Amino acid sequence: MKQDLSASPTSASSTTRSSLSAWVHWFFSIENRYLAPMFITCILAAAQWSFGVLESYARTAFAIVTALVVELVVGRLFWGQWPHLASAYVSGISVGILVRSPAMWPYALGSALSITSKYVLRLKGRHLWNPSNFGICVMLLLAPDAVASLGIQWGNYLPPMLIVWILGSLIIWQAKRFHICATYVLSFVLFAYGRSWITGHPFLAEVAPITGPMYQLFIFFMITDPKTTVQTTWGQCVVAFLVALVEMLLRLHESIYAPLYALFLVGPTANLLEIWWHARQSATASAPSPT
């Protein structure tokens, strides 16, 4: 009996280790495009369960369903085949979380704008804006009476923030885009120090926004979007730095949604430059060599 008792923990511990190992193996074998939807769903579920962050279930569901339906219809019409819905799901859920409005229509409109922008605002086969960034920025700019963004809602407590940051970092590492987040966060902190020096406000006040929920979604889902970031690793780091720089300039002009607007400006500009650069290189390569 005694032996049994002493054997049990060893056995349990071994089982735990092997199941953990299996989980890690499973985790790192997941196809990248499923990671973001899974992660954002986990964040949403945890945030809603612990804090009730959503304006309402119905509004968030409305945003997601609209994104999926628009993607299905427009994708089918445009490409002649049913599109994969992972991207639309992330866009819909981002709109569902980030848009704050007492009305229902901004959720549908934000999602529809996000998805449609992918098909309309494109060049050389690439869409230029991160879809949800585009949809939310347009809503904030054109419908300020009806729409705000998630800025000060959600818990201000440390444990949930740490969990999201750790889990998010793991997933982004797996997706091989951790360098983008790291560059942005380091740049933000650096610029926060600069803003504190310029404005005379406490450093903690300047660094405070990055501890909030809007940034968790912004950092893990918007600036790392594979479809709307430049292709080289160093280029991605430069763009992340430039987003933080433009954000600082906007913050010095007291723009509340500075990160969203900074990405709105820098992201497509970087993409256009890269498209132009590639076109120039192709042209040079295909030009007849001088004899």
Partner 1 sequence: MQRRILGIMLGTFFAALIAMPVVLKHFSERHASIGTAPQRAAVTARYGFCFQEVAKAAGIDFTHRAPTLDAKLAHIMPEVTALGAAVSIVDVDRDGWQDIYVTNSGEGSHNHLYRNLGDGTFQDVAAAMGVADVNQASTGVSMGAVWGDYDNDGYEDLLLYKWGRPELFRNEQGRRFVRVTTHAGLPSWINANTAIWLDYDRDGLLDLFIGGYYAEHVNLWQLTTTRMMPESFEYAQNGGRKYLLRNRGDGSFEDVTEQLGITSRRWALAATAADLRGSGYPDLFIANDYGVSELYFNEGGARFREVGKQTGVGFAPKSGMNAAVGDILNQGQFAIYVTNISEAGILLQGNNLWVPKAGTAGESLTYENLARAMGVELGGWSFGAQFGDLNNDGYLDLYLTNGYISADRERSYWYDFSKVAGGNTTIISDAQNWPPMAGRSLSGYQQKRVWINDGAGQFFDVAQVVGVTDTYDGRAVALADFWNRGVLDVVAVNQKGPLLLYKNTVTPDNKWIAFELEGSVSNRSAIGTQVRLFWNGHEQVQEVSGGSGFGAQNQRRLHFGLGKQPHIEKVMIRWPSGQEQTLTAPQIGHIHRVKEPV
Site for partner 1, rule CB under 8 A: 51-52, 55-56, 74, 77-78, 100-103, 105-106, 109, 112-113, 116-117, 119-120, 138-140, 142-148, 151-158, 161, 199, 201-202, 204-209, 211-214, 251, 254-256
Confirm if 240 and 225 have CB atoms less than 8 A apart. Answer: no
Q: Which of 91/117 has CB closer to partner 1?
A: 117
Q: Which of 19/56 has CB closer to partner 1?
A: 56
Q: Which of 140, 169, 143 lies closest to 260 in space, CA to CA?
A: 140
CB of 43 to partner 1, least distance (A): 16
Which run of H or E residues covers position 148?
A: strand 148-149
The phi, psi pair for 246, rounded to 5°, reads: -65, -35
CB of 185 to partner 1, least distance (A): 15
How many C-beta atoms lie closer than 10 Å to residue 269's C-beta?
A: 14
Residue partners of 15: CB distance under 8 A and separation at least 6: none
- C-alpha span between 214 and 232 (Å, rounded): 27
CB of 205 to partner 1, least distance (A): 5
Q: Which of 72/207 has CB closer to partner 1?
A: 207
Strand partners, 123: 126
Q: Which of 44/138 has CB closer to partner 1?
A: 138
Q: What one-character-per-residue DSSP string does 19-84 give?
A: HHHHHHHHHHHS-HHHHHHHHHHHHHHHHHHHH--SS-HHHHHHHHHHHHHHHHHHHHHHHSSPPP
Q: Which of 64/113 has CB closer to partner 1?
A: 113
CB of 2 to partner 1, least distance (A): 47
CB of 82 to partner 1, least distance (A): 16
Residue partners of 121: CB distance under 8 A and separation at least 6: 127, 128, 129, 134, 268
CB of 123 to partner 1, least distance (A): 13
Q: Which of 181/258 has CB closer to partner 1?
A: 258
